[in-house]
Amino acid sequence: MFYLIPGLGADERVFQNLLPLLRGKTQVLLWLTPEPNETLPHYAARMAAIIPPEQKGIIVGVSFGGVVALEITRTHPGLRTVLISSIPDASCLPPLLRLIRATGVYRLFPPQWLKLFPRAGQWYFGVKQREYSLFKEILRDMEPVYTRWAIHRLLHWDSTGVGRSIQILGTEDRVFPPGPTPVEHLIRGGGHFMVISHALEISQILNQLLEEDQALLAEAPAQPPAT
Q: How far is Cα 67 from Cα 5, in angstroms, rounded to an integer?
A: 10
The pLDDT, as a whole number, for residue 40 is 98
The pLDDT, as a whole number, for residue 222 is 58
The 10s digit of each residue's pLDDT in 198-217 is: 999 999 999 999 999 888 77
Q: In terms of Cα–Cα distance, which of 180, 214, 205, 179 is closest to 84?
A: 205
**Is the pLDDT at 84 greater than 90, yes or no?**
yes
The pLDDT, as a whole number, for residue 35 is 96
Q: At what angle do helices 118-125 and 132-140 cross, to 10 degrees?
A: 120
pLDDT band at 149, cuts 50/70/90? very high
The pLDDT, as a whole number, for residue 55 is 95
pTM for this structure?
A: 0.92
Q: Which domains does the chain show, CATH number per domain? A: 2-215 (3.40.50.1820)
| Contact in structure between 209 and 203 (CB atoms under 8 Å) | no
The pLDDT, as a whole number, for residue 180 is 83
The pLDDT, as a whole number, for residue 96 is 94
Q: What b-and-e string marks burial along 133-157, b requiring 16 or more CB atoms within 10 Å of the CB?
A: ebbbebbeebeeebbbbbbbbbbeb
Q: In terms of Cα–Cα distance, which of 214, 213, 192, 188 is closest to 201?
A: 188
For 13: left if phi > 0, alpha if psi spans -120 to 50, otherwise beta; the answer is alpha
Q: Which of 63-67, 210-214, 216-220 has the lowest mean pLDDT?
A: 216-220
Q: In terms of Cα–Cα distance, which of 62, 94, 93, 78 is closest to 202?
A: 62
For 146: left if phi > 0, alpha if psi spans -120 to 50, otherwise beta; the answer is alpha
The pLDDT, as a whole number, for residue 227 is 53
The pLDDT, as a whole number, for residue 26 is 98
Maximum CA extent, the chain: 63
The 10s digit of each residue's pLDDT in 105-123 is: 888 777 777 788 899 999 9
| Contact in structure between 159 and 89 (CB atoms under 8 Å) | yes
